[in-house]
Amino acid sequence: MEKFDKHLSTIGLVLSEQDRDLLHTFREIRNAIEHGRKPEEPSVQEIKRVKALTNRIILTSLKHIKATI
């Protein structure tokens, strides 16, 4: 998460506490799957929120890259 936080700082994106909690939830789901445990199933609303959040991060990253070229 340290590298991720540094990247967010570099691109100038500030995440709310709710956004960070959402990412933490999905990181726990990913880790459970990775280690062969049954993950807690997220709601459809949570899936839509994390999808929107990751899209925002990707688009902001691309915008930053384009601005530095």
pLDDT tens per residue, range 12-67: 999 999 999 999 999 999 999 999 999 999 999 999 999 999 999 999 999 999 99
Q: Residue 1: pLDDT above 90?
A: no
Torsion angle of the four alpha carbons 4, 20, 58, 29, in this order, in degrees rounded to the nearest 10: 90
pLDDT at position 45: 98
pTM for the whole structure: 0.86
**Tokens (6 digits) for 1:** 């998460």
Residue 16's H or E segment, with its range, is none
| Nearest partner of 27 among 61, 51, 1, judged by Cα | 1
Residue where the block lists tokens 């726990």 = 28
